[in-house]
Amino acid sequence: MKPARFDYVAAASAEEALEALAQEGGNARILAGGQSLLPMLNMRLARPTVLIDIMGVDEWRAVDRDGDVLRIGAAVRQVALEQDPDLARFQPLLAAALPWVGHPQTRSRGTVCGSIAHADPSAELPLVLVALGGTVHLRSRRRKRVLSAQNFFTGMMSTAREDDELIEAIALPKARTRTGYAFREVARRHGDFAIVACAAVVNGVRAQLAVGGVADRPALCELPAPGAAGLDEALDDFAWSLEARDDLHATARYRRELVRRLGRTTLEEAVRCRA
């Protein structure tokens, strides 16, 4: 179980990384923390001809909190945010979801943007990005562009990123006043990919629920706030609309049931957390 051969480029600057990417295109993969990519390399599921290591790019190592968004650079490891004592204040949903991402031993290496780029439909960080309406900042030698989370994720492990582009950063809105956030997940074991993960954002009468692990990408739905009429019906419609599938670990029906029940619990928790 060893990787096939590849060249390795340690980019020292954004320009170097983008130049290499422009040259190699689809045959290259960006190596950040490597926690999603290395298993695929070891199993020879992925066979890039070159890896472009971006962890040496200083400008991508920053977490920028100025303004009303939290901008997280491509080389920011998950642990850096997890250990930030102010994170829960700046963005409580991200703070609640991070401990569910793999294990401490993978969060120590894995990056936030890497998980977004991988676009696993059960992963927590893409779910958070969608739930918060965050943005993905793509950059190539040609151009920079910003996509909404909804437009970035196009399907199972598929994104709108083009071959010569990389995620330079993601941006999440900071916590808003009178808004409650909550995250809940059911997995077979702690640290496993979610069977169903729910992220709720409740603000006044507006309630949003994002669900991961069910459809081919995180799905977002606007629902009546807990206490308002029609929540159960709306959750039921949402559950059915996701077209859940059976797999080894759970049935479609179980997933729908969790969307209804866990979804409600998560929304209720978000209401309670509304400061």
Partner 1 sequence: MDVTADEPRPWLGRSLPRVEDAALLIGRGRYIDDLGVPPGTLHAAILRSPHGHAEIVSIDPTRARALPGVTAVLVGSDVQAHSASLLVGVKAPIECWPIATDRVRYVGEPVAVVAARDRYVAEDALDLIEVAYRPLPAVIDPRAALAPDAPVLHPGLEGNLASDRVFRYGDPERAFADAAHRVAIEVDYPRSACTPIETYGVVAEYDPGLDAYDVLANFQGPFSIHAVIARALKVPGNRLRLRTPPDSGGSFGVKQGVFPYIVLIALAARATGRPVKWIEDRLEHLAASTCATNRFTRLEAAVAADGRITALTWDQIEDCGAHLRAPEPATLYRMHGNMTGAYDIRNVSIRNRVVLTNKMPTGLNRGFGGPQVYFPLERLMQRIAHELGLDPLDVIRRNLVPRGAFPYRTASGALLDSGDYAAAMESALLQGGVAELIARRDAARRDGRLYGIGYAAVVEPSVSNMGYITTVLTAAERRKAGPKNGAQSTATIALDPVGSVTVHVASVPQGQGHRTVLAQVVADVLGLKPAEVRVVTDVDTAKDGWSIASGNYSSRFAPAVTGAAHLAAMRLRERLAHIAAAQLNVPAVDVVFDGGRVQARRNRDNALSFARVAAASHWAPGTLPSEADTAIRETVFWTPPELTAPNDADEINSSLCHGFIFDICAVEIDRVTAEVRIDRYVSMHDCGRMLHPGMVAGQVNGGFAHALGAALLEEHAYGPDGSLLTGTLADYLIPTAMEVPEPLILHHETPSPLTPLGAKGVGEGNCMSTPVCIANAVADALGVADVSLPLLPARLAQQVHGPEKAPRGKTPVRPAAKEAASERQLFGEGEASVDAPATTIWAMLLDPNALMAVVPGAHAIEKVSDTCFTAEITLGIGPVKGRYRATMELSDLDPPRALTLTGSADGALGFGRGTGQVTLREEAPGRTVIGYRYQAAIGGKVASIGGRLLDGAARVIIGQFFASLARQAGGGGRPAGLWAWLRRLLGFA
Partner 2 sequence: MPRLSADCRHMVSFTLNGAPVSGEAEPRMLLSDFLRYVVGATGTHVGCEHGLCGACTVEIDGQPGRACLTLAVQVRGAQIRTVEGLAPAPDRLSVLQECFREHHGLQCGFCTPGILVTLDALLRDNPAASEPEIREALAGHLCRCTGYVSIMRAALAAQQRLGKKTDA
CA 132 to chain centre: 11
| Bridge partners, residue 221, by sequence | 209
Would you count residue 25 as binding partner 2 (CB under 8 A)?
no
- Minimum distance, C-beta of residue 91 to partner 2, in the bound complex (Å): 21
Residue 252 · residue 215 · CB < 8 Å: no
Options 19, 162, 236, 257; binder of partner 2; rule CB under 8 A: 19
Options 81, 98, 101, 119; binder of partner 1; rule CB under 8 A: 119
- Minimum distance, C-beta of residue 224 to partner 2, in the bound complex (Å): 35
The one-letter code for the residue type at 51 is: L
Would you count residue 2 as binding partner 2 (CB under 8 A)?
yes
- Read off the tokens for 42: 């070891």
Residue 115 · residue 101 · CB < 8 Å: yes
- Read off the tokens for 230: 């029609």
23 binds, among partner 2, partner 1, none (CB under 5 to 8 A by kind): none
Would you count residue 54 as binding partner 2 (CB under 8 A)?
no
Q: Which DSSP helix (H) or strand (E) runs through 212?
A: strand 206-212
Would you count residue 151 as binding partner 2 (CB under 8 A)?
no
Q: Which DSSP helix (H) or strand (E) runs through 203?
A: strand 196-203
Q: Please identify, using beta-carbon distances, which residue of 7 and 233 lies nearer to partner 1.
A: 233
Of 86-94, 156-164, 174-182, 202-210: span binding partner 1 (CB under 8 A): 156-164
- Read off the tokens for 103: 């294990």
Torsion of CA 118, 135, 98, 199, to 10 degrees: -100
| Bridge partners, residue 220, by sequence | 210
| Bridge partners, residue 210, by sequence | 199, 220
Options 72, 75, 76, 79; binder of partner 2; rule CB under 8 A: 79
- Read off the tokens for 210: 């994002």
Interface positions, 52-91, toward partner 1 (CB under 8 A): none
Options 25, 27, 43, 86; binder of partner 2; rule CB under 8 A: 43
7 binds, among partner 1, partner 2, none (CB under 5 to 8 A by kind): partner 2
CA 202, 99, 127, 175 torsion-angle sign: positive
Of 104-112, 148-156, 255-263, 265-273: span binding partner 2 (CB under 8 A): 104-112
DSSP line for 135-155: EEEEE-SS-EEEEEHHHHEEE
Would you count residue 249 as binding partner 1 (CB under 8 A)?
yes
Residues interacting with partner 2, by CB under 8 A? 1-12, 16, 19-20, 31, 34-35, 38-39, 41-43, 49-51, 53, 55, 79, 99, 102-106, 108-109, 189-191
Residues interacting with partner 1, by CB under 8 A? 1-5, 29, 37, 40, 43-48, 118-122, 154-159, 186, 188-193, 195, 215-217, 233, 236-237, 240-241, 243-254, 256-258, 261-262, 265
